[in-house]
């Protein structure tokens, strides 16, 4: 993947050196690898949002004040400081998503407002509450920010068997897909539907996640047309989509699968919708809600 040819974004905020968020897991208890996996496994077992599980582990207290939306980005590294390739990779992929979605929005007569991407370690506070690395990368519509603990990239390769730069880029592009949903009003409409029909919450969640996969594919389509992808990149991204399907994760966690508890979609669904975006490059092809149960 030719990510060094992508534009570097200024919208990356580094909180990695801030330490665990105040109040994290009962006063800063750090979850190790086994603990993180346990939280994810429990969430999958009962069809819960891992973030909700973590909040309950804190005793249900109110989340700490969120970082302000317009917080300044971290200061640049001092001259001569060691190069951080992973951070540079994140910034350049983010910059390319900004360029792609800005053009798409412009064609639709709208303006794209790029989100900030926050790098954190162990835990972080946001407008959506307090989150541990166990929840994985996430987007918070309350502050228009994407949150990423880069250790997830290592988990993606080692535990989920999805290595490669484009696999990592897919993760970022998926979360940016949620930001796009928020900007075009889908997030609000889904929230209203959840309020009217709580029994469909999981099904709605699947449709939201599959559409974000498709939007990630739309970005990938334009990266490919600009010759930024190399042989094997698409396969790497598709492998990542398959690796984090609900069926595969549930099978790993408990040895069986419960489709009614899916919140992100099966491996087959995630791959299919990611490829839909990759092949078409058109957001109108990403209407998972029109597909409904056929998604």
Is 73 a domain residue?
no
226 is a domain residue: yes
pLDDT, residue 86, reads 95
Q: Which residues contact 199 (CB under 8 A, 6 or more apart)?
A: none
In a domain, 46, yes or no: yes
Q: pLDDT confidence of 258, banded at 50, 70, 90? A: very high
Q: Report the alpha-carbon distance of residue 131 to residue 182 in Å, rounded.
A: 20
pLDDT in tens, 201-254: 899 999 999 999 999 999 999 999 999 999 999 999 999 999 999 999 999 899
Percent of the chain with pLDDT over 70: 78
Which of 28-37, 49-58, 74-83, 251-260 has the weakest average pLDDT? 28-37
The answer as to whether 74 is a domain residue is no
Banded pLDDT at 294 (limits 50, 70, 90): confident
Domain that holds residue 155: 3-66+82-294
123 lies in some domain: yes
Reduced to 3 states (helix: H, G, I; strand: E, B; else coil), residue 118 is strand
Nearest to 131 by CA among 69, 181, 182, 57: 57
pTM of the model: 0.80
Residue 76 included in any domain:
no
Task: Output the furthest CA–CA distance in the chain (Å, rounded).
Answer: 56
**Does 75 reside within a domain?**
no
| Residue 215 is assigned to a structural domain of this protein | yes
Average pLDDT of the chain to the nearest whole number: 84
DSSP 115: P
Q: Is 13 helix (H, G, I), strand (E, B) or coil?
A: strand
Compute the distance between CA of residue 23 and CA of residue 28 in angstroms, rounded to an integer: 6
Q: Note whether 120 and 20 are within 8 A (CB).
A: no
**Could you give the number of structural domains in the chain?**
1
Local confidence band at 292 (pLDDT 50, 70, 90 cut-offs): confident
Please state, as a whole number, how many other Cβ atoms lie within 10 Å of the Cβ of residue 287. 14
Task: Give, in order, the Cα–Cα distances in Å from 186 to each of 8, 94, 138, 141.
Answer: 28, 21, 17, 11
pLDDT digits (tens, 9 = 90+) for 109-151: 999 999 999 999 999 999 999 999 988 999 999 999 999 999 9
């Amino acid at each position: 993947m030719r990510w060094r040819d992508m534009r570097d974004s200024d919208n990356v905020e580094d909180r990695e050196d801030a330490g665990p968020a105040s109040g994290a897991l009962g006063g800063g208890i750090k979850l190790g690898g086994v603990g993180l996996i346990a939280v994810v496994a429990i969430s999958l077992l009962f069809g819960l949002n891992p973030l909700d599980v973590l909040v309950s582990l804190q005793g249900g207290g109110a989340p700490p004040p969120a970082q302000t939306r317009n917080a300044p980005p971290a200061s640049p590294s001092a001259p001569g400081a060691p190069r951080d390739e992973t951070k540079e990779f994140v910034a350049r992929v983010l910059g390319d998503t900004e360029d792609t979605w800005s053009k798409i929005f412009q064609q639709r007569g709208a303006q794209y407002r790029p989100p900030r991407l926050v790098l954190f370690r162990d835990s972080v506070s946001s407008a959506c509450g307090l989150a541990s690395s166990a929840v994985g990368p996430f987007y918070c519509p309350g502050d228009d920010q994407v949150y990423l603990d880069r250790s997830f990239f290592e988990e993606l390769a080692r535990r989920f068997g999805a290595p490669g730069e484009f696999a990592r880029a897919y993760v970022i592009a998926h979360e940016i897909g949620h930001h796009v949903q928020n900007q075009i009003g889908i997030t609000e409409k889904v929230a209203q539907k959840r309020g009217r029909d709580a029994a469909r919450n999981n099904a709605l969640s699947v449709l939201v996640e599959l559409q974000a996969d498709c939007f990630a594919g739309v970005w990938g389509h334009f990266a490919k047309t600009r010759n930024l992808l190399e042989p094997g990149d698409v396969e790497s991204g598709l492998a990542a989509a398959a690796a984090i399907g609900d069926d595969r994760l549930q099978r790993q966690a408990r040895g069986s699968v419960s489709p009614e508890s899916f919140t992100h979609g099966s491996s087959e669904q995630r791959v299919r919708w990611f490829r839909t975006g990759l092949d078409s490059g058109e957001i109108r092809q990403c209407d998972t809600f029109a597909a409904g149960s056929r998604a």
